[in-house]
Amino acid sequence: MQLKLYNSLTGEKEIFKPILEGNVGMYVCGPTVYSNVHLGNVRTFLSFDFIYRTLMHLGYKVRYVRNITDAGHLTDDGNVDNDRFVKQTRLEKLEPMEIVQKYTVDFHKVLEMFNLLPPNIEPTATGHIVEQIELTQKLIERGFAYESNGSVYFDVLEYNKRGLNYGELSKRNIEELFANTRDLDGQGEKKNPQDFALWKKASPAHIMRWNSPWGEGFPGWHLECTAMSTKYLGEKFDIHGGGMDLKFPHHECEIAQGKACNDTAPVNYWMHANMLTMNSQRMSKSTGNYILPMQLVTGENDFFEKPFHPSIVRFCFLQAHYRSVLDISNDAMIASEKGFIRLMEALKALNSVTPDNEKQSEFNLQEWKNKCYDALNDDFNSPILIAHLFEAVKYIFALNDGKETISAEDLEDLKSTLHAFIFDVLGLQNIEENNNEKLDQTLKVLIELRNQARKSKNFDLSDQIRDKLLAEGIELKDGRDGTTYVLN
Ligand code: AMP
Ligand code: ZN
């Protein structure tokens, strides 16, 4: 079985051939840490977490790099004074690096809640200013960039004159781009409106600033990803990912910077995850059409009728393919919750199945496994994988009802395969097991408190703890090795 993935650059599903056999270098654009991540952001990072997990499960050794954008960069409207970091520092009356720290911590907490694995390297833009200055110098030396009034711009026209093709990823025609660009930022500084900033001169209001050969300023956003991806993965690496909305201009500019610096396209496979929508509109902070992950998990929102466990949110996201738009709704979450519970019940039921080596089963385990792997190898098709998991669920319940049979060997195989798909690849967590663990820890704390009460001869309190637990169906038993509990 060969892994195929959809390459946004060619618009085709291609057989994946890593540069170094058995190894994958993957870079994913990380968050801009000036505010809390919303659920839409989480979907993109979760899509790549699933891709990362799948690659590892398929046997690849992956170096996964995901950056943190913590240096101020231009806004969508191109106006330097609208820099998101600068605005937020004013709003919250905090130092820029306090903003960065606050929202980086929040980002990590949120991703951990949804059971995302950390990347192997998580570099920050502010930690790579030197590299970005060096790249800018190289681009000037090679004639692809020019200085203007303390800022440095990439010369898109020059790039195209040399037979390179600006617009190849977003399939935009350069003439069209020149005609349609508004020149809000750097008015009069650029040779052409389409030129993009590699380095920006800092205005007096701009507090995040560094020294450079062109005076005090800060790096352009596109440059940080080129600097960090090539530093840790090489001038050419396997996979570059991000949300669909980053294709243009961000990723287009990364390709141009990479080619202009190193005479080679920086990335073999470009992968783009599709958007999360709510009320059929893209989730976004700027339009107000968003929900924070914590609001969904605690139930503190007006959109969903109840709270949902992070694992159910994760399951819901993975029921859509990463390249499809997913519209989040109360009904979709309720349906996912039902499916998730059934999947977990099947896993539990599997533990009480008795194997039978005599009878033949209708269910062909090997064929089923092949179908699951086909789904994974077919551009990471999580919804098809999940559909196959439910075929196994049906089989397990038939086994439980004595309507089907399984050999001892197949039973072990089915158990370990299901565990691998559900927990390692899909990254789901067994809520019930988690809850049991929590209950166990809580009861141990109560037993300890009761022991302390008894030691200090506060028998009133120790009896109260015992009696109240008993009323809840939890019986404490004092033995020679200490106190244990029984759930009645
Ligand atoms: P940002 O912090 O704005 O750079 O966004 C972080 C990541 O979230 C980027 O890869 C975006 O493409 C992605 N993203 C933003 N909005 C959405 C959305 N509604 N659905 C899915 N991904 C999104
Ligand atoms: Zn990036």
Closest protein CA for atom 9 of ligand 1: 243
Residues annotated in the binding site, as ranges? 29, 225, 250, 254, 285
Average pLDDT over residues 360-379: 97
The predicted model scores a pTM of: 0.88
Q: CA geometry: angle at 248 spanning 247 and 249, to 5°?
A: 130
Task: Look at 111-115, 239-243, 294-298 and tell me which has the smallest mean pLDDT.
Answer: 294-298
Closest protein CA for atom 10 of ligand 1: 243
What is the pLDDT confidence band of residue 381, given thresholds at 50, 70 and 90? very high
**Percent of the chain scoring above 70 in pLDDT:** 95
Question: How many Å apart are CA 57 and CA 47, to the nearest integer?
Answer: 15
Token readout for 457 is 């001869």
**247 pLDDT higher than 70:** yes
Q: How far is the CA of 188 from the centre of ligand 2 (A)?
A: 27
Residues annotated in the binding site for Zn(2+), as ranges? 29, 225, 250, 254
Spatial CA neighbour of 423 closest among 355, 340, 349, 365: 340
What is the pLDDT confidence band of residue 185, given thresholds at 50, 70 and 90? low
Closest protein CA for atom 6 of ligand 1: 31
Task: Look at 322-331, 377-386, 433-442 and tell me which has the smallest mean pLDDT.
Answer: 433-442
Helix and strand totals (H; E) in the chain: 16, 15
Give the SS3 label for residue 412: helix
Q: How far is the CA of 28 from the centre of ligand 2 (A)?
A: 7
Ligand index nearest the alpha carbon of residue 223: 2
Using CB atoms within 10 A of its CB, is residue 398 exposed (0-12), middle (13-18) or buried (19+)? Answer: middle
Task: Look at 6-15, 57-66, 80-89 and tell me which has the smallest mean pLDDT.
Answer: 80-89
Spatial CA neighbour of 14 closest among 268, 382, 230: 268
- Secondary element (H or E) of residue 156: helix 156-161
| R_g of the chain computed on alpha carbons | 27
Ligand index nearest the alpha carbon of residue 229: 2
Q: Hey, how many other C-beta atoms are within 10 angstroms of the C-beta on 235?
A: 15
CA distances from 224 to 355, 380, 384, 441 (A): 57, 28, 36, 45
- Secondary element (H or E) of residue 15: strand 12-15
Q: How far is the CA of 44 from the centre of ligand 1 (A)?
A: 6
Average pLDDT over residues 61-81: 76
What is the pLDDT confidence band of residue 76, given thresholds at 50, 70 and 90? very low
Q: How far is the CA of 247 from the centre of ligand 2 (A)?
A: 10
The ligand 1 atom nearest the CA atom of 30: 6
Q: Hey, how many other C-beta atoms are within 10 angstroms of the C-beta on 121?
A: 15
Q: Hey, how many other C-beta atoms are within 10 angstroms of the C-beta on 334?
A: 16
Average pLDDT over residues 436-448: 85
Q: Are 395 and 363 in contact (CB under 8 A)?
A: yes
Q: How far is the CA of 116 from the centre of ligand 2 (A)?
A: 19
Mutate which of 29, 35, 41, 323 for ligand 1? The one with the most ligand atoms within 8 Å of its CB, which is 41
Q: Kindly state if the Cβ of 31 falls inside 6 Å of ligand 1.
A: yes
Ligand index nearest the alpha carbon of residue 251: 2
**77 pLDDT higher than 70:** no
Question: How many Å apart are CA 213 and CA 217, to the nearest integer?
Answer: 10
Q: Kindly state if the Cβ of 310 falls inside 6 Å of ligand 1.
A: no
**273 pLDDT higher than 90:** yes
Q: Kindly state if the Cβ of 102 falls inside 6 Å of ligand 1.
A: no
Task: Look at 107-121, 180-194, 426-440 and tell me which has the smallest mean pLDDT.
Answer: 180-194
Ligand index nearest the alpha carbon of residue 33: 1
**488 pLDDT higher than 80:** no
Task: Look at 65-74, 389-398, 404-413, 431-440 and tell me which has the smallest mean pLDDT.
Answer: 431-440
Q: Kindly state if the Cβ of 318 falls inside 6 Å of ligand 1.
A: no
Locus of tokens 């060997």 = 409
**259 pLDDT higher than 80:** yes
